[in-house]
Amino acid sequence: MRVGIIGAGIVGVATAHALLDEGHEVDLIDREGIAAGTSAGNAGWIAHLDILPLASPKVWRNLPRWAFDPLGPLAIRPAYLPALLPWLARFVAASQPSRIEASIRAIATLNGRALAAWETRLASLGLGNHLRDRGLLSVWADERAFRAAGELIERQRALGIPVETLDARSLRALEPALGPRAVAGALYPSGRHVSDPLQFTRALGEAALQRGAHLRKFEIIGVSGRGGEIAIRTSFDTLALYDRVVIATGAWSKPLAAALGDAIPLDTERGYNVTLPSGRLGLTRPVMFEGEGFVTTPLDSGDRVGGSVEFAGLEAAPNFKRVDAILGRLRRFLPEADLTGGDRWMGFRPSIPDSLPVIGTASGDPRVVYAFGHAHHGLTQAAATAELVAALIADRRPPIDLAPYSPQRFGKKH
């Protein structure tokens, strides 16, 4: 079949490979090219061990502290609040214990397939060198918060995720650059990170082109059924026809899905980072600073420091004071590090209130498959998502129940 994939971020390029495996003719269609969106600048974590939705007790516990700090880990720009209200209402609903539990189960199901899907894909392409295996480390500045994480750690272990808890001494033996503020840690040896998100996505995209996919640079403004085919309309008003279409346009997917009859409550959690020259932090593995809303990653392109969640939509200019705020908080953990300079970036996480992606067929035409909304987990879940999309395109029963990720789970209103 001829399949057009709209969006050449990590989800689109991973999907291209899964479809090429099955003998489809694949066009990767992007207004800017490969890795032009959020996939270019993320933290690079394959965080299959991260199973909590944003609407989790962890976030609600910290919310009173964060809400009054405009540069804190989670903030809403006041001017954007009215537009965000419907999303927030769903977020509050998704915070009921039973809904949190359902999200955890569905995230864990997808994440449980994530690492193996990447390992298989990268091995088949000879790109395994992009995956780094020094584990992922969480650190706490607060013994009480560390103890509160005990329940989550037990849950992770029950899912087969190895976790080594660390006291201050063993933490510092592992990462000597950490100052006395870090009092406890948890090492996830099975956590992985990639060489660099931009290089990684580009390498996968180029490998797809070498396998026969074609890159088409067009902005797509409409997708609709047209007799036996699916027509996609570009901003130049030209049409291309496909047997199947995949919408993998990340944070920009809402209007395309709306035109196909699906009112998806998609918004964006904007995230920020700065990439300092390699070695500046003195940390040898990725670190999550718990309760602080940021992580660090030793990438090939430099030491990346970033995170935070800002609700301000797709249009507002970045507020890079958020990066200064992150660095201020990092300074307390790494008293010796030189945190000056570096390249700053802001990206758009495509976020659904229940923290689950949208993977399924369009209401308006089942030949269109959605694969977007991966929020904090897009890099982690892309290869696993691609396998599910390939099953849907082939009208094959997917390996897992897709009901939790259904585009129709939101009902009529949003």
Q: Minimum CB separation from ligand FAD for residue 31, in Å?
A: 4
Three-state SS for 199? helix
- Residue 208 lies near ligand FAD (rule: CB under 6 A): no
Q: Which stretch binds ligand FAD (CB under 6 A): 93-101, 246-254, 330-338, 392-400?
A: 246-254
- The residue among 150 and 159 lying less far from ligand FAD, judged by its C-beta, is 159
Q: Is 265 in the site for ligand FAD (CB under 6 A)?
A: no
Cα end-to-end distance, the chain, whole Å? 34
293 in contact with ligand FAD (CB under 6 A): no
Shortest distance, CB of residue 169 to ligand FAD, whole angstroms?
A: 28
**Which x/- pattern, by CB under 6 A, does the window 77-116 give for ligand FAD?**
----------------------------------------
252 contributes a contact to ligand FAD by CB under 6 A = yes
Of 298, 301, 300, 296, nearest to 330 by C-alpha is 296
Look at residues 209, 157, 199 and name the one whose alpha carbon lies nearest to residue 42. Answer: 199
330 binds ligand FAD (CB under 6 A): no
Residue 9 CB neighbours (<10 A): 30
CB of 219 to ligand FAD, least distance (A): 4
Q: In whole angstroms, what is the distance from residue 343 CA to residue 327 CA?
A: 13
Write the DSSP string, 287-299: EEETTTTEEEEEE
Buried b (16+ CB within 10 A) or exposed e, 334-350: beebebeebebbbbbbb
Shortest spacing between CB 255 and ligand FAD, in angstroms:
8
Residue listed under structure tokens 């600073």: 289
Minimum Å gap between C-beta 154 and ligand FAD is 23
Strands 244-247 and 2-6: parallel
Q: Is residue 218 within 8 Å of 205, Cβ to Cβ?
A: no
**Contacting residue, 248, 337, 362, 393, with ligand FAD by CB under 6 A:** 248
Contact 182, 146 (CB under 8 A): no
Q: Which stretch binds ligand FAD (CB under 6 A): 25-33, 65-73, 181-189, 222-230?
A: 25-33
Q: Which of 141, 334, 374, 386 binds ligand FAD (CB under 6 A)?
A: 374
Among 5, 10, 117, 323, binds ligand FAD (CB under 6 A): 10
Q: Which residues pair with residue 234 across a beta bridge? A: 220
Name the segment binding ligand FAD (CB under 6 A); options: 43-51, 104-112, 131-139, 328-336: 43-51
* Cα–Cα distances in angstroms (integers) from residue 397 to residues 12, 126, 129, 250, in the given order: 21, 29, 32, 25
Residue 127 CB, shortest distance to ligand FAD, in Å, is 17
x/- binding map, residues 111-150, to ligand FAD, per CB under 6 A?
----------------------------------------
d(CA 121, CA 19): 12
Interface contacts to ligand FAD, rule CB under 6 A: 6-12, 29-32, 36-39, 42-45, 47, 219-220, 248-252, 271, 273, 306-307, 347, 349-350, 372, 374-380
